[in-house]
Each structure stands twice: as structure tokens, then as C-alpha cells.
Amino acid sequence: MLVRTSDTIQERLISLHGTGMTWRQISSLDAYSGIPAGSLATYAKTGYIARAYRARFGLPPIATVTVMLDGDIPDGAQVLTATRCECGRWYVKNHPARRRCYLCRPYGGR
């Protein structure tokens, strides 16, 4: 089931639930198989679709990260400041102490 907006999914779920089907019965349909019934109820009430299921409905991801290998910030980028790494690549700092790009010094979570 490919759609462009979450409103379409919300309207469809509300109409299915309005016919007397339970959320569990709706989740067993082919278009919604594998999605928990509670999540479908949340989609119908709030319109928010979790990141894990956005691709299944054909919706674009909430955010995308693009690693730029050519060293240029593309036109139209929404950044206030960019810093050039020692290797020559541009990057946007996520912390004031970061001195290298994400390829030279990847995030090493603790």
C-alpha cells in the first residue's frame, strides 16, 4: 500500500475501524500485516507513523544524512556554519569540541 501522506493512512484506518473491525483484525489484513494493532490505533488517533513503518507505507524518511565525499557543501544546504577538516572535507559540527569530520573521526559511542 503506497501512499504519499499520513492523512491517507489515517483516513483508511478510521474507516476500517468504523465498519466494526477491531485493531487486531485490521492488523491481520495484508496491507497492514506485521504492524502491531496498538501502533495502528495510534496512527488512526494521532496521524504519527513510526520511523520503522514509514518505508512500508511509501512515505519518505523523517530525516536523511548525506556524507559528502567530494568536500563541498551543496547549494541549498540548511547550515549556518560549516568547518573544513584537516583532510579537506566540509562538515557540520554537532559539538563545539569536534575538530575532525565524521569520516576521519567517526562517533564512538560509549
> Do 48 and 82 reside in the same domain of the chain?
no
Burial group, residue 49, by CB count within 10 angstroms (0-12, 13-18, 19+): buried
Q: Specify the pLDDT at position 19.
A: 93
pTM exceeding the 0.85 threshold for the entire prediction: no
96: its cell numbers: 563545539
Q: Is residue 86 part of a domain?
A: yes
Domain count, the chain: 2
pLDDT tens-digit readout, 31-61: 888 889 999 999 999 888 888 888 888 887 7
Q: Specify the pLDDT at position 67.
A: 62
Q: Is residue 60 part of a domain?
A: no
pLDDT tens-digit readout, 67-98: 655 555 656 666 667 777 888 777 788 788 88
> Do 37 and 75 reside in the same domain of the chain?
no
Q: Is residue 40 part of a domain?
A: yes
> Do 42 and 11 reside in the same domain of the chain?
yes
Select from 74, 77, 76, 104 the least CA-distant residue to 88.
104
DSSP H helices, the chain, are: 6-18, 23-27, 37-46, 51-54
For residue 83, give the H/E element and its range: strand 83-84
> Do 69 and 110 reside in the same domain of the chain?
yes
The boundaries of the domain holding residue 103 are: 65-110
Q: Is residue 1 part of a domain?
A: no
Check if the beta carbon of residue 63 is closer than 8 Å to that of residue 54: no
